[in-house]
Amino acid sequence: MKKPIWIKNIQQLATLASKKEGPRSKEAMSELGIIEDGSLWIEGGIIQAVGSTIELEQRYATRVNEADIVDATSHLVTPGLIDPHTHVAYGGSRAREFEMRLEGVPYMDIMNAGGGIHATTRMTRESTEEELIIQTTKRLDSFMQHGVTTVEGKSGYGMNLETELKQLRVMKHLQENHPIDLVPTFMGAHAVPPDYKGKEEEFVDHLILDMLPVVAEEKLAEFNDVFCEKGVFTPEQSERILEAGKKYGLIPKIHADEIVAYGGAELAAKVGAISAEHLLKASDEGIKAMAKSGTIACLLPATALYLREEAAEGRKMIDEGVAVAISTDCNPGSSPTTSMPLVMNLACILMRLTPAEALTAATYNAACAINRQDRIGSLEVGKQADIALWNVKNYQELQYLFGVNHLKAVWKKGIKVVG
Ligand code: NIG
Ligand code: FE
């Protein structure tokens, strides 16, 4: 039997525990379930007890000697961070495009000229499964080094059945072989491939009739995502794809209103999407509709920064009652980062979230955005022991001392994987 782990003397333990189940909005985003001088008892990969150090010391008095003891004096402990939106399994690099964009070429122009998503699609098609596994493993390792224990990952750099399946199988392999939990999303509708230019409806049919059934049959995805954007997929096409996915049990997500206001937020509410992503240009009506439907806004401030765009109106969304999650959007074009702490800092600086809201957005609400809040996202009895230990004294410092990796250790399902 593996030894129990007792993490004690934690200067600040942010449990994120709350009595209310489900996505948190408004004031609930500031309830971090803080315990000063806290401690956690872990056994069998599961959290067995959460409380003050004194409480657990008394409760486990007869068993303290058999435990691995971690002294977290002067440290912050949080749930392992969760990244609910990435395109992590891709081939190649787009460093040259970064230079082009700095020279002034717009992101969508690069894509329309055959670069951008199309360039990565070519490189992903050319990569073998082994090559993709090696590249993606490096990124997942880096996520873990930044305190992340669960990552959602999208296909979408295939845009043909063969490569979409290749990306999804790579993610399945990594889910089985990497400590990080990788939650798969099918995103065949990431762009219209060049051979379908002018025949967009045909591509939508192909996706619905030929791709979705195979993905569902092989159980390779839980979610279905669409890039609903002017010049990519219209709201009508997006709705068709998402409704078709629902018939196979795939939960809708939408890349919405990123470059122009296009009714994406409204559509997310209409189809009952679990989350809508980006939302830089979301309309007031769209925001209200999301608050009403309970659709989570998954905001990506690093992408806004990287594209030199105004970030989404995170503050306003929270005030309007939308539950907000945040994510890296890790992808080779608009946000090649694996740092969720950076994203939390940017959520504060660019979207005026408070440090407490940013932490909720990167843990509990992020878990909700991938339908995992029953087992991760907070440190509560019975939940997975996915834990991050930080070299700072409190959660405010984690947001305030930006641009530096404060991570000290990570446990994934009770096993120490960093530190
Ligand atoms: O979420 N907006 C569409 N898709 C990605 C970018 C993908 C790429 O540039 O390769 C995103 O930002
Ligand atoms: Fe994305």
Contact 83/151 with Cβ under 8 angstroms?
yes
> Distance from the CA of 98 to the center of ligand 1, in angstroms?
13
d(CA 80, CA 90): 24
**Dihedral (CA of 279, 285, 286, 290) sign:** positive
Model pLDDT, residue 195: 93
331 is in an annotated binding site: yes
Say what the ipTM of the complex is.
0.96
293 is in an annotated binding site: no
Which residue has its alpha carbon closest to ligand 1 atom 3? 227
Which residue has its alpha carbon closest to ligand 1 atom 6? 334
Residue 218 dihedral angles phi and psi, to the nearest 5°: -85, 5
Regarding the beta carbon of 332 and ligand 1, being less than 6 Å apart is answered: yes
Regarding the beta carbon of 329 and ligand 1, being less than 6 Å apart is answered: yes
Regarding the beta carbon of 87 and ligand 1, being less than 6 Å apart is answered: yes
339 is in an annotated binding site: no
Residue 44's contacts (CB-CB under 8 Å, 6 or more residues apart) are 2, 414
Model pLDDT, residue 2: 86
> Which of 117, 124, 253, 343, when mutated, tests ligand 1's pocket best, judged by the most ligand atoms within 8 Å of its CB?
117
Residue 283's contacts (CB-CB under 8 Å, 6 or more residues apart) are 257, 261, 263, 265, 266
d(CA 298, CA 296): 6
Beta strands in 205-336 (DSSP E): 223-228, 251-256, 275-278, 296-299, 324-326
Nearest to 294 by CA among 270, 316, 312, 315: 270
Model pLDDT, residue 20: 84
Model pLDDT, residue 19: 84
Query: For every residue of 137-158, which 3-state class applies, written as one string?
Result: HHHHHHHHHCCEEEEEEECCCC
Model pLDDT, residue 55: 98
Per-residue pLDDT of the chain (419 residues; tens, 9 = 90+): 689 999 999 999 999 999 889 999 999 999 999 999 999 999 999 999 999 999 999 999 999 999 999 999 999 999 999 999 999 999 999 999 999 999 999 999 999 999 999 999 999 999 999 999 999 999 999 999 999 999 999 999 999 999 999 999 999 999 999 999 999 999 999 999 999 999 999 999 999 999 999 999 999 999 999 999 999 999 999 999 999 999 999 999 999 999 999 999 999 999 999 999 999 999 999 999 999 999 999 999 999 999 999 999 999 999 999 999 999 999 999 999 999 999 999 999 999 999 999 999 999 999 999 999 999 999 999 999 999 999 999 999 999 999 999 999 999 999 999 99
d(CA 77, CA 13): 5
Which residue has its alpha carbon closest to ligand 1 atom 1? 329
Tell which atom from ligand 1 comes closest to the C-alpha of 227.
3
